[in-house]
């Protein structure tokens, strides 16, 4: 340990070195936060050769992250029954009536020509048009009836959680976007707060260096700066959950909870625009793992309509085309209807967006969550491999501390 006179003389002689130490520590605090944040999300795919390499924490744990985000979304915020319960079957039928009628025209003529071409070609155009018109009149009723049955037992044909998880795992950039946009202010805070925290530790480092002149102090303080600022910044984002006074001087609340209303707005916007959209919902219903149940439902209604339209002539028609061919005709109608439904349903998107009102529903429900439930919207992005992020900050701080030694030795020669 140097005497006070020696310390003063050294500080006077090498004052640029001493002045630079807190600023270098501030840079360590800031840069290690930026690196830690980027490591959470980038790269989206693994880069390197295992076991050496890196993939962003969120993309690497995509299935689990998506599951956690979806659990909160589907268990606490919105249910399939809420989504479909707001749709008026009659309004849906009306919205898609025009494209569906056009499709029914094509389907009826195609099926008739495919199942009994000779008989269909022999019919006068007036009779053909009459047959098509009768089927066409039933089309809106088909949609309305199917919609009513879907609403009655929505869980049998629509897996909301499965839809969201599938889309998020498939699109890791979108998964990143959920966490990044929900916590964009928090991530900015973490990076910015690293500088003043680092500067404060750097002041202590400067005093310790002046007194002890021990080379190991610089990398040690660099390590402490990287580790402590990472840890403290993360704590300040999520703790305390409720406003709390510290040292009788100032009040602090975890930034994520303090921004609750803003987070709810941004989160609701993102989910409504990119995840639970009418297009994705329709796609999940028509092509998802439960789509065979919807097909069976549509098939039952199509068969009922065809049989009702054939009416008393059904025995004669069966004789004319054959029982097996008659059944194949009904199956073909069902298949063609299912193929044309996505195109027809595209016309209902504007109405469905307004009716389902996903954005405002999520905003309202998020305000009703408990603090613990609300924390789950963002906290999982930090929990997974959090120690790696903090350790990375410490290692980077240590490395910069070693660099400081070289700089100090060069400047004090």
CA distances, 314 to each of 148, 319, 407 (Å): 28, 9, 96
Q: Which of 36, 291, 302 is nearest to 150 (CA)?
A: 291
Q: Which of 143, 62, 158 is nearest to 348 (CA)?
A: 143
Q: Of all residues in the chain, what percent are helix, strand and coil, respectively (each to 5)?
A: 80, 5, 15
pLDDT per residue over 196-235, tens digit each?
Answer: 888 888 888 788 878 877 778 778 877 887 788 778 877 8
Minimum mean pLDDT among 36-50, 185-199, 204-218, 330-344: which range? 330-344
Decide if pLDDT at 326 tops 60: no
Q: Which of 413, 287, 271 is nearest to 338 (CA)?
A: 287
385-398: b or e for each residue (b if 16 or more CB lie within 10 Å)? bbeebbbbbbebbb
Q: Which of 99, 119, 81, 79 is nearest to 343 (CA)?
A: 99
pLDDT band of 114, cuts 50, 70, 90: low
Give the mean model confidence (pLDDT) for residues 355-363: 87
pLDDT per residue over 157-189, tens digit each?
Answer: 888 888 888 888 888 998 888 888 877 888 888
Give the mean model confidence (pLDDT) for residues 351-375: 86
CA distance 347 to 366: 30
CA 150-153-154 angle, 5° bins: 65
Q: Which residues 6+ apart lie within 8 Å of 364 measured at CB?
A: none
pLDDT band of 316, cuts 50, 70, 90: very low
- State the pLDDT at residue 319: 45
| DSSP structure class, residue 216 | T
pLDDT band of 131, cuts 50, 70, 90: low
By the 8 A CB rule, do 179 and 375 touch? no
pLDDT band of 314, cuts 50, 70, 90: very low
> Which is more confident, 287 or 264?
264
DSSP H or E run through 52: strand 52-54
Let me know if 294 is exposed, middle or buried by CB neighbors in 10 A (0-12, 13-18, 19+).
Answer: buried
- State the pLDDT at residue 207: 82
Which residues share a beta bridge with 135? Answer: none
pLDDT band of 332, cuts 50, 70, 90: low
User: What's the pTM value of the predicted model, to 2 decimals?
Assistant: 0.69
How many residues in the chain?
A: 413
Boundaries of every domain in the chain: 4-67+177-262+372-411, 81-170+273-370
- 83: its two tokens: 């989504």
- State the pLDDT at residue 318: 47
């Amino acid at each position: 340990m140097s005497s006070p006179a020696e310390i003063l003389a050294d500080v006077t002689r090498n004052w640029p070195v001493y002045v630079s130490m807190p600023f270098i520590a501030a840079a360590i605090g800031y840069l290690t936060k930026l690196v830690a944040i980027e490591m959470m999300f980038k790269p989206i795919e693994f880069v390197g050769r295992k076991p050496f390499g890196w993939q962003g924490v969120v993309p690497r744990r995509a299935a689990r992250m998506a599951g956690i985000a979806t659990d909160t979304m589907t268990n606490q915020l919105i249910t399939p029954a809420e989504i479909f319960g707001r749709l008026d079957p009659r309004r849906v039928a009306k919205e898609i009536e025009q494209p569906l009628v056009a499709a029914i025209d094509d389907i009826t003529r195609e099926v008739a020509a495919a199942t009994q071409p000779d008989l269909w070609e022999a019919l006068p155009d007036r009779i053909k048009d009459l047959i098509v018109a009768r089927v066409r009149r039933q089309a809106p009723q088909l949609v309305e009836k199917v919609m009513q049955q879907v609403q009655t037992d929505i869980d049998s044909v629509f897996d909301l959680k499965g839809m969201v998880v599938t889309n998020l795992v498939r699109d890791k950039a979108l998964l990143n976007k959920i966490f990044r946009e929900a916590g964009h202010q928090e991530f900015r805070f973490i990076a910015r707060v690293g500088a003043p925290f680092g500067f404060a530790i750097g002041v202590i480092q400067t005093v310790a260096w002046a007194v002890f002149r021990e080379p190991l102090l610089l990398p040690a303080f660099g390590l402490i700066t990287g580790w402590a600022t990472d840890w403290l910044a993360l704590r300040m984002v999520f703790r305390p959950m409720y406003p709390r006074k510290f040292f009788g001087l100032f009040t602090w609340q975890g930034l994520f909870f303090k921004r609750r209303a803003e987070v709810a707005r941004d989160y609701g916007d993102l989910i409504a625009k990119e995840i639970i959209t009418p297009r994705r919902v329709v796609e999940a219903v028509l092509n998802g793992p439960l789509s065979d149940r919807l097909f069976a439902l549509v098939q039952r209604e199509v068969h009922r309509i065809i049989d009702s339209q054939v009416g008393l002539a059904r025995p004669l028609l069966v004789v004319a085309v054959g029982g097996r061919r008659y059944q194949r005709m009904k199956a073909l109608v069902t298949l063609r209807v299912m193929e044309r439904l996505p195109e027809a349903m595209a016309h209902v998107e504007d109405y469905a967006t307004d009716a389902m009102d996903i954005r405002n529903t999520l905003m309202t429900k998020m305000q009703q969550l408990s603090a613990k439930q609300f924390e789950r919207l963002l906290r999982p992005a930090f929990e997974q491999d959090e120690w790696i992020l903090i350790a990375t900050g410490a290692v980077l701080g240590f490395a910069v501390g070693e660099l400081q030694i070289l700089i100090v030795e060069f400047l004090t020669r």
